[in-house]
Amino acid sequence: MKDLFNDKIFPAIMNVITSKPLTAVKDGMIATISLTIIGSIFLLLANFPYLPIQQFFIDMGVKDHMMQVYRATFNLISVVAVFSVAYNYAKNAGKEGLGAGILAVITFMILIPHTTVASGVAEVSQEAVKLTVANVFPMGYTGSKGLISALIIGALTGMEYTFFLTKGYTIKMPEGVPPNISNSFAALIPGTVLFTAAFAINVFFVNFMGSTAVDFIYKVIQTPLMGFSDSLVGVIVFSTMVSLLWWFGVHGASLVGGITSGIVTANMLANQAVLDSGVALTSANAAVYTTQVDAMWRITGSGITFGIVFAFLFFAKSDQFKTLGRLAAPSALFNINEPILFGTPIVLNPKLFLPFIYVPVVAAVGSYLAIDWGFVPYYGAVSVPWTTPPIISGFITGGWQAALLQFAIIVWSIVGYYPFIKKMDQDNVKLEQ
C-alpha cells in the first residue's frame, strides 16, 4: 500500500493540485482574503450583537455607510478574483501580469449580464411591477454568483495570454519604447482574440441556450460544487486530504485550499445574501460548509495539534517533548503548528498517522452536524484572519455557540492524541536514558 500510494496515487494527486491553473487560483484567492476581513469588520459593526451600540451607529447616521463598505468588498470579490488569478498565472510563468489581469476583467465583464430586474410599486395603480434595467453590472454576478466563473475565466485568460507571449504572437515595439507602452501593445493581439471569443460565446449562449455563459457555469458547475462541498461526504473528503497531504510533508491546507477556497467563499457569500434580503438562515436556504467551518478542523493548525502541545506541556516526561511543548505553545495559539509537524515529528511518522487523520475528520463531522442540527447558527460573511486564536474567532464569527464548539474540538484533540503521544513519550524516555 505504501508503494502504491507513493508511486501512483500521491504523484497523480500532486500533478493535479500543483498544476498551473490551480496554483494560479490558489494564489489569486489569497488576494481576496483582505477584502473579506475588512468587509467583515464593517458588517459586524453595522450589525453589532449589542443593540445599544448598533442603535448608536444608526443615530450617528453611519450604519448605511458601513454597509456600503461591506458591499463594495464582498460584492466585487469576483472582479478582484478574476484579475488576481490571471495576474498570478502570468506572473508564475515569468510574464508581465498586469496585462493578463486587465484582459481577464474585461472578458469577465463581457460574459456577465448587463441588465437586472428591479421591483417596485407603480405610482398610479399601486400595483407591484418589475422592470428590466439596462447598462448595469448586477452585483450578484460580481459577487458570489460569478465567483467560480471568475476563477475559470482568470485561469484561461492567464493561460492564453502566457501562450501568446511565449510564442511571440504579439506586436513588438522598437527598442527604447518605455516598458509600460510596450506591455500595452503586447496585450493587443491576445486581447483581441479573447474579446472576440467572449463575444462569440455570449452570442451562442444568449441566443441558443437562453442564458449567459456565467449563468450556465453557475448552474452546471458552481451549484453542484457548492452542493457537494456542503455535504457531509464533501466535508470528510476535504478534511482528510488536508491531513493526508501534510503527513507526506506537503502543505495540505494551502493546496486543498486552492480547490475549496472559491467554493467555501461562494457558500459564505450566498448565506450573507440571504441575510441581506431580510430572511433568516435555515436548512432550506443556507450552506453549512463556509469559510468559518473550513477553519474549524484547522484550529491550532492543520490536524488540530493542540492536543499534542497540551500533552507535551502537562504529561510529557521526556526532555525532547517537554522542550518542544514550550517552544510550540505560543505559535499554536495563533494556529501555526509547523514546529509540531516537523519537530515531533508528525510528517512521515506512522505512529501518528491515524490520529492526525481522524482527529480533524471527527471535528469536521461534529462541526457540520452541530450546524445542521441547529446548535450552532449558520454563518454569514463575518470572518476573521486565520491567525485569530480559537474561542475568540468562534465567538466573533458565530457567537457563544461557535466558541463552545471550538472548545469541545480542542478537548477532543487532547483526548484523541493522548494515547499515541504517551506511547511515543515512553519510547523517548528510554532512548534518553
State percent of the chain over pLDDT 90.
40
- Select from 293, 295, 275, 294 the least CA-distant residue to 285: 275
Question: What pLDDT score does 123 carry?
Answer: 66
- Position 125 scores a pLDDT of 65
| Count of other CB atoms within 10 angstroms of residue 372 | 15
pLDDT tens readout for residues 228-262: 878 889 899 999 988 988 887 777 787 787 778 88
For residues 376 and 296, the answer to whether their CB atoms sit within 8 Å is no
Q: In the predicted model, what is the mean pLDDT of residues 32-45?
A: 86
pLDDT band at 209 (very low <50, low <70, confident <90, very high): confident
| pLDDT > 70: percent of the chain | 96
List, in order, residues 6 or more apart from 90 with CB less than 8 Å away.
96, 97, 99, 100, 101, 158, 161, 162, 165
| Per-residue model confidence (pLDDT) at position 248 | 79
Tell me the per-residue pLDDT of 277-316, one tens digit each, with 9 for 90 and over.
888 888 888 989 998 888 888 899 889 999 999 999 999 9
CB 85 within 8 A of CB 104: yes
How would residue 348 be classed by pLDDT, with cut points 50, 70 and 90? Answer: confident
Contacts of 357 (CB under 8 A, 6+ apart): 240, 243, 244, 247
Query: What phi, psi does 232 have (nearest 5°)?
Result: -65, -35
Higher-confidence position of 205 and 210: 205
In this predicted structure, the answer to whether residue 176 has a pLDDT above a threshold of 70 is no
Is residue 204 pLDDT above 90, yes or no? yes
Phi, psi values for residue 136, rounded to 5°: -135, 160
- pLDDT tens for 417-429 read 999 999 999 999 9
pLDDT at 390 (0 to 100): 93
With residue 27 as reference, give the H or E element that holds it. Answer: helix 20-30
C-alpha cell at 356: 492526525
Given a contact cutoff of 8 angstroms between Cβ atoms, the answer to whether 287 and 230 are in contact is yes
pTM for this model (two decimals): 0.79
Question: What φ, ψ does residue 122 adopt, rounded to 5°?
Answer: -65, 135
CA dist list (Å): 345 to 34, 394, 402:
33, 29, 31
What average pLDDT does this structure show over 144-168? Answer: 92
First to last CA, the chain: 35
User: Is residue 268 a contact partner of residue 379, using CB atoms and an 8 Å limit?
Assistant: yes
- The full 3-state SS of 319-374, as one line of letters, equals HHHHHHHHHHHHHHCCCCCHHHHHHCCCCCCHHHHHHHHHHHHHHHHHHHHHHHCC
The model's confidence at residue 363, banded by pLDDT at 50, 70 and 90, is very high
**Scanning the structure block, which residue is given the C-alpha cell 493546496?**
255
Mean pLDDT of 380-408: 91
Q: Which of 7, 8, 14 has the alpha carbon at shortest distance from 244? A: 14
Alpha carbon separation from 8 to 1, 13, 242, 330, 357 (Å, rounded): 10, 9, 19, 39, 21
Comparing 53 with 11, the larger pLDDT belongs to 53
Higher pLDDT, 104 or 338: 104
Provide the 10 A C-beta neighbour count for residue 312: 25
